[in-house]
Structure 1
């Protein structure tokens, strides 16, 4: 059986749990991370030297990096679900997954650490304002895409891109800050909320 190491509250762990839910995969999960077992324990570091969750164990295979784990689960067990086999369709999904990881994630780091984590090192008002503006700007890119598709990120079909971006949308909506009115994102959020308890949690 698959084993997932990481607390369910982690945004990156939720990507993996949601993927398992969509693919009907059974798994065992162990709580690791803040508030639970420390990821700097030697046993955990042997699995992931970055000391971060999630970690997936599938037999002798050990994987870290949440988007990579989700891709693997789809490729190994998905039978074409969530991640298309056709190169062009797959590239479209992976483009948005990479955008989430490289561009969107970087845009919210300062604002999230300041507003949600209340980090003393992230309380500079100018940097916070810039962080909020940058985060909202990146979400505007997603708003434009969703206006164009009218459904999910890559079109009519729900894909892996929607899992990784769905949890990011939820984080943006829950942050205590001013946000533009993005009606396509609001409709998208409601659409995703009907899919799985993992998203609602």
Structure 2
């Protein structure tokens, strides 16, 4: 059985859990991270030298990086609805997944760490304001994309792009910042909320 190592409240672990829910894939979850088993041990670092979650163990091999894990699971189980086989259609999905992992994550990090995690290392008020502003700017770009598709991130069909960005949406809505009215995001949120995987691993009260 697939083994997932990671804390179930982690946004990156929840990407994998939601993907498993969409596939209908059974797994064993071992809690690793703050408050659980440590990730800095020699044993864990052999699995992921970065000391971060999630890590999966499948067919005796370890794999890390959450978006890569999601792509692997969709591909292995033939879920071309979640990750198309046609190269350009697949690249469109991966483009938005990569944007989430690079541009969007970098934008929200300071504001989220300050306002939700209450990190003493993120106490610069000006930096919080700048982070929130950039976060809102990028969410407006996503809103424009969704207004164009009138459905999901990459078109009429739900894909892995909706998984990773749906969790980002939940985090944005859960963080106490001023947010501009972005109606396409609101409609998308309502559409995602019809999916059991999103209700369990996304809009479940955890930012």
TM-score by length of structure 1 reads 0.97
Q: Which stretches of structure 1, 4 residues or more, deviate above 3 A after TM superposition?
A: none
In the alignment, what sits opposite 1:103? 103
In the alignment, what sits opposite 1:28? 28
Q: Alpha-carbon deviations, 1:17-72, whole Å to 9, x = none?
A: 11111111111000001111111122111111111100010022210000000010
The Cα shift of 1:81 comes to 2.9
The Cα shift of 1:91 comes to 0.8
Query: What stretches of structure 2 of length at least 5 have no aligned partner?
Result: none
Which of 198, 201, 205 is the equivalent residue of 1:198? 201
In the alignment, what sits opposite 2:128? 128
Q: Alpha-carbon deviations, 1:142-181, whole Å to 9, x = none?
A: 0000111111000100001000000000000000111111
Is 1:192–1:199's contact at 8 Å kept on the other side of the alignment?
A: no
TM-score by length of structure 2 reads 0.95
* 1:1-201 equivalences in 2 (<5 Å): 1-196=1-196, 197-201=200-204
Distance 1:193 1:23 in 2: 17
3-state secondary structure, aligned to 2:110: helix
Distance 2:76 2:109 in 1: 32
3-state secondary structure, aligned to 1:200: coil
Q: State the number of aligned residues.
A: 201
Is 1:149–1:155's contact at 8 Å kept on the other side of the alignment?
A: yes
